[in-house]
């Protein structure tokens, strides 16, 4: 895989001007192949671990999260071996060392990023509820089969919580932002951000989870690009921890307690929306300064990208059923 480093931010010279005009279709094709390989390896290692568990006498409650962790770890280790010189560099994890190459994380910026993450979660939940209601009115039920499975296993074993909150974010950031997004940066940062976010959503193979993954992928991509991959890992961990808290703790509270927490979250969502609205000019300037090269999105017609889309449609069909 061709390694493409992120260009340093420079207000005088927009990053897109320094982008390398690599043909879009093969660029997206290679990124899609990388993600397909990761998914295949993860499933393969997971299935091997899951089938080996009964043989060596590991209980099912422990075997499933262990299989998940082994799947994550095995896939990323093999992929990392193909890009070892890159992954072993300080730049891969912390970004360029030049003062102008990346932004410095501050408590205020960290809070703003968490606020943006919470707002994304709120928007995704609202869209999911509207979609479920609309489909329910015509007798179709839509649910997140993958999240129901994860939440069920998390209730039985703390190892699944570790897999979701720590192992999963680390591995997914290495692959999706560290390798995939970086490989796409040759045609501009916005192209790398949007394409890697869409691939991240398709990878989940779930309508409700995929919707959230695309929106979150844009934010995590921005953090990885402007701050560092380690900050993207940290924010991803916070995101998954919040999701676990909502499903494993808040959902089990009394109606009154859940209502109070819900009201608090609504206030947080509104405050987050106000913060982002006040930053709208800066957001527009960032998009304009980091626009994609002309013809970049033709890359989405790559056979391998379309194969990812087909996978998503087939896998997501499991979430639909007649009521």
> What local confidence, expressed as pLDDT, does residue 100 receive?
67
Residue 73 structure tokens: 């770890």
pLDDT over 80 (residue 9): no
182-235 pLDDT, tens per residue? 999 989 999 999 999 999 999 999 999 999 999 999 999 999 999 999 999 999
DSSP 212: H
User: What confidence score (pLDDT) does residue 253 get?
Assistant: 87
Neighbouring C-beta atoms of residue 254, cutoff 10 Å: 8
Residue 7 has pLDDT above 60, yes or no: no
Which spans in 57-83 are helix H?
A: 60-82
CB atoms within 10 A of CB 177: 26
Q: In this predicted structure, what is the pLDDT of residue 205?
A: 94
d(CA 177, CA 5): 12
Please, which pLDDT band fits residue 11 given cuts at 50, 70 and 90?
very low
pLDDT over threshold 60, residue 6 = no
Q: Which of 84, 63, 59, 64 is nearest to 3 (CA)?
A: 84
Is 60 exceeded by the pLDDT of residue 3? no
Assign 3-class secondary structure to 81-98.
HHCHHHHCCHHHHHCCCC
% of the chain residues with pLDDT over 70 = 92
Per-residue pLDDT at 157: 82
- Given pLDDT bands bounded at 50, 70 and 90, which one contains residue 19? very low
Enter the pTM of the model.
0.91
- The region of weakest confidence among 5-19, 94-108, 118-132, 166-180 is 5-19
Q: For the CA atoms of 216, 222, 227, 230, what is the dihedral angle to 10 degrees?
A: 40
Q: For 97-110, write each residue's pLDDT tens digit.
A: 766 677 899 999 99
- Judged by average pLDDT, the poorest of 62-71, 132-141, 190-199, 278-287 is 62-71
pLDDT recorded at residue 103:
87
CA angle at 300 for the pair 294 and 306, rounded to the nearest 5°: 170
What per-residue confidence (pLDDT) applies to 249? 87
The span from the CA of 263 to the CA of 42, in Å, is: 39
What mean pLDDT do residues 79-97 have? 86
| pLDDT value, residue 34 | 95
CA angle, 234 as apex, 265 and 224 as ends, to 5°?
Answer: 110
- Token pair 């002309």 in the structure block, residue: 294
Lookup result for tokens 């790559």: 302
Confidence class for position 8, pLDDT limits 50, 70, 90:
very low
Tokens standing for 15? 């990053």
How many residues appear in the chain?
323
Average pLDDT over residues 310-320: 95
Provide the pLDDT for residue 153. 80
The single-letter DSSP state of residue 186 is: G
Distance, CA of 65 to CA of 208 (rounded, Å): 22
* Mean local confidence (pLDDT), 80-101: 83
Per-residue pLDDT band at 21 (split at 50, 70, 90) = low
Q: In the chain, pLDDT over 90 holds for what percent of residues?
A: 67
Rounded CA-CA distance 240/34 in Å is 24
Is residue 60 pLDDT above 60, yes or no? yes
Is pLDDT of 5 > 60?
Answer: no
Residue 217 or 79, more confident: 217
Q: What is the mean pLDDT of residues 138-147?
A: 90
pLDDT of residue 258: 87
- For the cut 80, the answer to whether the pLDDT of residue 1 exceeds it is no
Does the pLDDT at position 17 exceed 60?
A: no
pLDDT over threshold 70, residue 319 = yes
**What phi and psi, each to the nearest 5 degrees, are found at residue 140?**
-115, 130
């Amino acid at each position: 895989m061709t390694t493409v480093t992120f260009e340093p931010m420079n207000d005088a010279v927009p990053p897109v001007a320094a982008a390398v005009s690599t043909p879009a279709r093969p660029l997206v094709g290679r990124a899609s192949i990388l993600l397909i390989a990761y998914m295949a390896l993860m499933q393969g290692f997971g299935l091997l671990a899951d089938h080996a568990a009964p043989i060596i006498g590991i209980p099912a409650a422990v075997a499933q999260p262990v299989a998940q962790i082994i799947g994550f770890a095995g896939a990323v280790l093999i992929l990392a071996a193909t890009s070892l010189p890159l992954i072993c560099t300080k730049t891969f994890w912390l970004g360029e060392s030049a003062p102008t190459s990346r932004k410095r994380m501050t408590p205020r910026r960290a809070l703003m990023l968490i606020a943006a993450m919470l707002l994304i979660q709120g928007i995704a939940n609202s869209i999911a509820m509207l979609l479920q209601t609309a489909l329910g009115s015509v007798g179709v039920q839509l649910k997140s089969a993958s999240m129901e499975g994860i939440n069920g296993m998390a209730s039985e074993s703390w190892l699944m919580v570790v897999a979701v909150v720590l192992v999963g974010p680390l591995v997914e950031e290495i692959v999706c932002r560290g390798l995939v997004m970086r490989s796409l940066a040759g045609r501009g940062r916005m192209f790398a951000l949007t394409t890697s976010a869409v691939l991240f959503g398709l990878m989940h193979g779930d309508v409700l989870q995929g919707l959230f993954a695309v929106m979150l992928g844009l934010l995590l991509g921005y953090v990885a690009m402007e701050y560092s991959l380690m900050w993207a890992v940290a924010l991803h961990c916070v995101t998954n921890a919040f999701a676990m808290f909502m499903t494993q703790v808040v959902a089990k509270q009394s109606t009154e307690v859940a209502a109070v927490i819900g009201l608090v979250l609504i206030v947080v969502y509104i405050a987050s929306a106000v913060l982002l609205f006040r930053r709208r000019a800066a957001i527009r300037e960032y998009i304009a300064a980091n626009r994609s090269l002309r013809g970049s999105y033709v890359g989405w017609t790559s056979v391998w990208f379309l194969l990812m889309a087909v996978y998503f449609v087939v896998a997501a069909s499991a979430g639909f059923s007649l009521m």
